[in-house]
Amino acid sequence: VADRSVEVVIVGAGAAGVACATELRSLGFGGSVLLAGREPDSPYDRPAASKGYLAGTLSRADVELEVPGDVELLTRASVMKADVEAREVKLASGELVAWTRGLVIATGANVRRLRVDGAQLEGIHYLRALGNADAIRADVAEAESVVLIGGSFIACEVAATLTALGKRCTLVMLEPAPMTDGFGPQVGAWVAVQLSARGVELICGDGLERFEGSDAERVAAVVTASGRRIPADAVVMGTGAIPDVMLARAAGLALGETGGVACSPALETSAPGVWAAGDVCEFGGRRIEHWEVAQAQGRHVARSLVSGQSAPFVEVPYFWTDLGDWATLEYVGSAAGGWDAEVVSGSLEEGAFSVRYSRGGELVAALACDRPDDLEAARRELASAAG
């Protein structure tokens, strides 16, 4: 028998979970809502962890997210088990909480860890939470050379942030240029120029082989697949994220081909009355790891919980990435399935441009740097095509 009962349980107090709780209250839902998060911190703006918070220009208070006062927020509260038949969750404290209206799985993602020789050495960091950013800041205080592994957003953002703090940064990536996987060769070449111009060294088309340590068991160098040895006082890994499906899998929820929780177009999982939102949520064969999409999905689930109806989630994905305070790239749509044409407008040299990505003659995504009107036009086009 449960220790107590609430109307809605939300597991995970990140972007999706907080947006869901907030939207429930905005819609006038007066029932009890439990928002349980595993982290020690109150909910916060995660993207700041590689940007202003890491740079030290934003404080913890600056990045805190507001949670409605009448939502029961538990921090350091892991949900250990969900029984979707009995409609109960078990918290790490041992408390058994029943839900009557719905359960929302908003457990996000965890960093992808690489198991190479030397991976256990001190000074090798991953970045997902504010505490990781604190550790990186403290650790690089004395460092001269920092090596970033990966050519995607996190590694590039951290390289830009730490360069602005006066660190000598080297990026090691498999890609031919940074951000090419997401944005294509033209933008990749542009990002490479931006980073190089600020002193970031780029090692492209080369992978991480292993780390070498000092006598004090601290990282001293990165060795690449091609045999290059790069001295490193600290390392930050930007090697991707994997959806956190521990709870969902143990609860017997169906998982999808991307490894996320498989959801209907309305974001309902394989168990009726159990929903998913955010990085963990897979629907239509894809999973999107963007801040604003996680929030939009959280709000969507809230609407379904309140209305009792299951409208499909339709929203043009949007995200942004910052290279220090030099440039912000914004992106709408999704070219994850590939594209066969990219058309640039404006001027890459002047840092004011947009790119339209299309497949089979149809627009699938667009990127803009200092061209907000182009971005909005593409967003409208994508929205009307989606019906």
Is beta strand 79-83 parallel, antiparallel or unpaired with respect to 88-91?
antiparallel
313 backbone φψ class: left, alpha, beta (φ>0; ψ -120 to 50) = beta
**Window of 258-266, 288-296, 333-341, 345-353 that interacts with ligand FAD by CB under 6 A:** 288-296
Judged by CB under 6 A, the stretch of 100-108, 178-186, 253-261, 360-368 that binds ligand FAD is 100-108
Output the smallest distance, CB 320 to ligand FAD, in A. Answer: 5
Residue 222 or 277: the one with the smaller Cβ distance to ligand FAD is: 277
Residue 244 engages ligand FAD in binding (rule: CB under 6 A): yes
CB of 87 to ligand FAD, least distance (A): 17
Distant-in-sequence, close-in-space partners of 57: CB < 8 Å, separation ≥ 6 = none
**What does the DSSP assignment read for 290-344?**
-HHHHHHHHHHHHHHHHH----------EEEEEETTTEEEEEEE--TT--SEEEE
- Residue 223 or 267 having the CB closest to ligand FAD: 267
Asked if 182 touches ligand FAD (CB under 6 A), the answer is no
Q: How far apart are the first and last CA of the chain?
A: 46
- Pick from 323, 334, 260, 248: nearest CA to 290: 334
For tokens 């350091």, the residue is 76
- CB of residue 312 vs ligand FAD: minimum separation in angstroms? 19
Q: Is 22 in the site for ligand FAD (CB under 6 A)?
A: no
User: What value, to the nearest 5°, has the Cα angle with vertex 180 and ends 177 and 185?
Assistant: 85
Residue 321 as a binder of ligand FAD (CB under 6 A): the answer is yes
Q: Are 375 and 368 in contact (CB under 8 A)?
A: yes
178 binds ligand FAD (CB under 6 A): no
Q: Which is nearer to ligand FAD, 321 or 354 (CB)?
A: 321
Region binding ligand FAD by CB under 6 A among candidate stretches 44-52, 176-184, 262-270, 353-361 = 44-52
Find the binding residues for ligand FAD in span 48-67 (CB under 6 A): 49-50
294 binds ligand FAD, rule: CB under 6 A: yes
Please count the residues of this chain forming the interface with ligand FAD, following the rule CB under 6 A.
37
Least Å distance, CB 180 to ligand FAD, is 18
> 331 near 374, Cβ under 8 Å?
no
Residue 12 touches ligand FAD, criterion: CB under 6 A: yes
Cα gap 249→269, rounded to integer Å: 11
Q: Does 289 bind ligand FAD (CB under 6 A)?
A: yes
Least distance CB 198 / ligand FAD (angstroms):
19
Give the number of other CB atoms < 10 A from CB of residue 138.
9
Least CB distance to ligand FAD at residue 223 (A): 26
Note whether 79 binds ligand FAD by CB under 6 A: yes
Determine which residue in the list 24, 38, 313, 365 makes contact with ligand FAD, applying CB under 6 A: 38
Nearer to ligand FAD, 99 or 291 (CB): 291
With CB under 6 A as the contact rule, which of the stretches 189-197, 202-210, 319-327, 371-379 interacts with ligand FAD? Answer: 319-327
Other Cβ atoms closer than 10 A to 104: 32
Residue 304 CB, nearest distance to ligand FAD (Å)? 17
State which of residues 127, 223, 316, 332 lies at the interface with ligand FAD (CB under 6 A): 127
Provide the 10 A C-beta neighbour count for residue 337. Answer: 10
Looking at the DSSP assignment, which residues form a beta bridge with residue 136? none
Work out the number of other CB atoms within 10 angstroms of the CB of residue 197: 9
| Long-range pairs of 209-217 with CB within 8 A, sequence gap ≥ 24 | 209/116, 209/117, 210/116, 210/117, 210/118, 211/116, 211/117, 211/118, 211/119, 211/121, 211/124, 211/235, 212/118, 213/118, 213/121, 216/122, 217/121, 217/122
The single-letter code of the amino acid at 154 is: I
User: Given the rule CB under 6 A, which residues bind ligand FAD?
Assistant: 11-17, 36-39, 46-47, 49-50, 78-79, 106-109, 127-128, 154, 244, 247, 278-280, 289-292, 294, 319-321
